[in-house]
């Protein structure tokens, strides 16, 4: 499958190397669909296989970078071991992390979206006005329309930037409710209470 | 912001910072190691009120939500004391039920928030092509909002945190003031010239005597007044960040 004659520089012009070149040059994650579209005559499933192949290559060759699945796409990123040196290259203080209220609010939105402000406030027990504004302005959440209830409240959902910010391949990469360690022991009792306020985090399956 | 989990049990309740009444309740349930499904409502109510009383003296602005919860707790406590009309009735709802469900649900989201924090931490160690632009955009978004301007109150609170840390961490040195405001201004300028920004905390050099920190703080106030720096806070009670301002002198 190599086509060495066509490449004066000695490069190999098979699909695997084209995928590698595209991922190398792109400055944002590329989905398998995008890659298949750019290359032609391949399917997203084939791209997925090729990416896995490349990932194995990099791991075996102990490269300083790898291909990470972020926000539904693939991106070449350096391995975390080299972060300290790249921080030097960048010569800037690390950016601020999100505050605890912001993370809690995002967590609720991620599981309950689309969700109205009143529900966020009911779960957190505090006003989320300022936090929500910050999350909107940082592009981590967006308005997803209006709800049916009284006053047709605005509904919010997480954005693609949310996935990129946390390096998540998709929302399903977040822990499932049953994977959460329930700090309050005695799960049977919990079932007795017919935990029913919110299916996303409340389901009991053990 | 005080990290409740790592602060331990020995710390006085009123020195802790809670995100809200539910956060405080989760803390009390864990601290007392009580069964969430059989909360000793009298004990928890008492401790909750203790905290609210201490808190309302300082930060009235968020007291409303705590007082509302206090009222709920007292109502439940009163209901528990009432004689149950028919103890065999399985359908009879425990007055604590609704509250317990809320506490559990909140606790679960707190846990998910911690997962997100882990993802945030590992993501920060990965770099891709275009990461500079990506970060610059993200930072620009984070600092644009005028609402993020740190007030004098925010600064004093942050400084009090820093000093409190110093008091906990180190033995006291008694020594003359060996540093001038000008020197500290120069130090802050050099930091900002190098990085373009800094966190408030990082400007207080670990290991320096507290007197130096006071000078650093005064230097920051001076520079803010002169427009040399801009102070931004993404969240109420969050970390304060220092940015180069219009009047920055190289």
Contacts of A58 (CB under 8 A, 6+ apart): A65, A66, A67
Contact yes or no for B145 and A137 at CB 8 A? yes
Nearest CA of chain B to the CA of A128: how many Å? 11
Nearest CA of chain A to the CA of B83: how many Å? 22
pLDDT for residue B44: 92
Phi, psi of A143 (to 5 degrees): -75, 135
Q: What gap in Å lies between CA A139 and CA A65, rounded to an integer?
A: 27
For residues B164 and B95, membership in a common domain is answered with: no
For residues B28 and B106, membership in a common domain is answered with: yes
pLDDT for residue A158: 95
Looking up tokens 């997925």 gives: A48
For residues B111 and B157, membership in a common domain is answered with: no
How many structural domains comprise chain B? 2
The residue count of chain B comes to: 250
- CATH (domain of B186): 1.10.10.580
For residues B68 and B178, membership in a common domain is answered with: no
For residues B112 and B11, membership in a common domain is answered with: yes
Q: Which residue of A has its CA nearest to B90?
A: A192
For residues B18 and B112, membership in a common domain is answered with: yes
Phi, psi of B149 (to 5 degrees): -65, 125
Which of the pair, A7 or B175, is modelled with greater confidence?
B175
Complex ipTM over 0.85? no
Residue B131 lies in a domain: no
Per-window interface: B 180-209 vs A, CB < 8 A? 194-199, 202
Residue B94 lies in a domain: yes
* Residue closest to A192 by CA, chosen among B35, B111, B23: B35
Query: Would the pLDDT of B116 be above 90?
Result: yes
For residues B100 and B150, membership in a common domain is answered with: no
Domain ranges of chain A: 4-90, 100-174, 175-206
Contacts of A114 (CB under 8 A, 6+ apart): A144, A145, A147, A155, A156, A157
State how far the alpha carbon of A27 is from the alpha carbons of A24, A77, B250, in Å. Answer: 8, 10, 33
Residue B88 lies in a domain: yes
Contact yes or no for B37 and A198 at CB 8 A? no
Query: Would the pLDDT of B14 be above 60?
Result: no
Q: From chain B, pick out residues whose CB is under 8 angstroms from the CB of A111.
A: 109, 112
pLDDT for residue A120: 94
Residue B30 contacts residue B24 (beta carbons within 8 Å): no
pLDDT for residue A155: 92
Q: What's the CATH code, domain A100-174? A: 1.10.10.10
pLDDT for residue B6: 37
pLDDT for residue B169: 63
Residue B175 lies in a domain: yes
- Burial (0-12, 13-18, 19+ Cβ within 10 Å), A94: middle
Segments of chain A scoring below 70 in pLDDT: 1-12, 90-95, 177-206
For residues B78 and B108, membership in a common domain is answered with: yes
Tens-place pLDDT, residues B86-113 = 555 555 578 888 899 899 899 989 989 9
For residues B20 and B103, membership in a common domain is answered with: yes
Average pLDDT of the residues in B69-87: 80
Q: Which residue of A has its CA nearest to B131?
A: A27
Question: H helices of chain A, where?
Answer: 15-25, 32-39, 44-60, 83-90, 100-112, 117-124, 129-137, 160-166, 187-192, 199-202
Residue B184 lies in a domain: yes
Residue B132 lies in a domain: no
Q: From chain B, pick out residues whose CB is under 8 angstroms from the CB of A77.
A: 126-128
Q: Which residue of B has its CA nearest to A92?
A: B195
| Range picked from A189-198, B56-65, B150-159 for highest mean pLDDT | B150-159
For residues B112 and B158, membership in a common domain is answered with: no
pTM score, two decimals? 0.63
Q: What gap in Å lies between CA B146 and CA B231, rounded to an integer?
A: 11
Average pLDDT of the residues in B138-166: 72
Query: Would the pLDDT of B16 be above 70?
Result: no
- CATH architecture of the domain formed by A4-90: Orthogonal Bundle (1.10)
Query: Would the pLDDT of B227 be above 90?
Result: no
Task: Give the dihedral sign, CA A40/A44/A47/A49.
Answer: negative
Range of the domain at B160: 145-244
Name the least confident of A48-52, B188-192, B227-231.
Answer: B227-231
The secondary structure of chain B, three-state, reads: CCCHHHHCCCCCHHHCCCCCHHHHHHHHHHHCCCCHHHCCHHHHHHHHHHHHHHHHCCCHHHHHHHHHHHHHHHHHHHHHHCCCCCCCCCCCCCCCHHHHHHHHHHHHHHHHHHHHHHHHHHHCCCCECCHHHHHHHHHHHHHHCHHHECCHHHHHHHHHHHHHHHHHHCCCCCCCCCCCHHHHHHHHHHHHHHHCEEECHHHCCCCCCHHHHHHHHHHHHHHHHCCCEEEEECCCCCCEEEEECCCCCC
Phi, psi of A154 (to 5 degrees): -65, 140
Q: Does B5 touch chain A (CB under 8 A)?
A: no
* Cis previous bond, B109, omega within 30: no
Number of CB pairs, chain A paired with chain B, less than 8 A apart:
197
Residue B133 lies in a domain: no
Q: Which residue of A has its CA nearest to B63?
A: A126
Q: Does A24 touch chain B (CB under 8 A)?
A: yes
pLDDT for residue A182: 56
Provide the token pair at B9. 């049990």
Residue B140 lies in a domain: no
């Amino acid at each position: 499958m190599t086509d060495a004659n066509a490449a004066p520089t000695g490069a190999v012009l098979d699909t695997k190397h084209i995928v590698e070149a595209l991922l190398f040059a792109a400055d944002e994650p590329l989905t398998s669909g995008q890659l298949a579209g750019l290359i032609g005559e391949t399917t997203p499933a084939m791209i997925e296989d090729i990416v896995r192949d490349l990932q194995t290559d990099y791991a075996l060759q102990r490269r300083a970078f790898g291909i990470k699945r972020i926000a539904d796409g693939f991106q070449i990123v350096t391995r975390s071991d080299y972060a300290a040196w790249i921080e030097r290259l960048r010569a800037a203080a690390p950016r601020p992390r999100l505050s605890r209220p912001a993370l809690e609010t995002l967590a609720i939105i991620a599981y309950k979206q689309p969700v109205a402000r009143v529900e966020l406030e009911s779960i957190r027990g505090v006003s989320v006005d300022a936090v929500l504004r910050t999350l909107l302005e940082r592009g981590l959440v967006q308005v997803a329309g209006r709800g049916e209830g009284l006053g047709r409240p605005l509904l919010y959902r997480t954005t693609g930037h949310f996935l990129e910010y946390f390096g998540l391949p998709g929302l399903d990469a977040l822990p499932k409710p049953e994977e959460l360690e329930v700090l309050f022991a005695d799960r049977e009792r919990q079932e007795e209470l017919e935990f029913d306020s919110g299916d996303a985090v409340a389901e009991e399956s053990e | 912001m005080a990290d409740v989990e790592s602060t331990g049990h020995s710390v006085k309740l009123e020195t802790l910072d809670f995100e809200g009444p539910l956060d405080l309740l989760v803390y009390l349930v864990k601290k007392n190691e009580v069964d969430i499904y059989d909360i000793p409502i009298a004990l928890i109510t008492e401790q909750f009120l203790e905290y609210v009383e201490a808190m309302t003296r300082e930060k009235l602005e968020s007291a409303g939500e705590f007082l509302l919860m206090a009222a709920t707790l007292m109502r439940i406590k009163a209901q528990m004391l009432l004689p149950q009309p028919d103890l065999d009735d399985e359908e009879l709802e425990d007055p604590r039920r609704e509250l317990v469900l809320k506490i559990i649900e909140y606790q679960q989201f707190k846990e998910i928030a911690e997962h997100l924090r882990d993802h945030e931490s590992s993501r920060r160690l990965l770099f891709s092509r275009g990461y500079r632009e990506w970060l610059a955009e993200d930072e620009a978004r984070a600092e644009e909002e005028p609402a993020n301007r740190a007030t004098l109150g925010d600064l004093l609170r942050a400084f009090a945190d820093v000093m409190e840390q110093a008091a906990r961490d180190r033995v006291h040195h008694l020594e003359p003031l060996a540093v001038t405001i000008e020197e500290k201004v120069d130090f802050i300028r050099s930091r900002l010239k190098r990085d373009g920004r800094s966190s408030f905390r990082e400007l207080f050099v670990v290991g320096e005597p507290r007197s130096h920190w006071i000078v650093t703080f005064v230097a920051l106030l001076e520079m803010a007044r002169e427009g040399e720096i801009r102070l931004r806070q993404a969240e109420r009670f969050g970390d304060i960040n220092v940015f180069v301002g219009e009047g920055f002198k190289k």
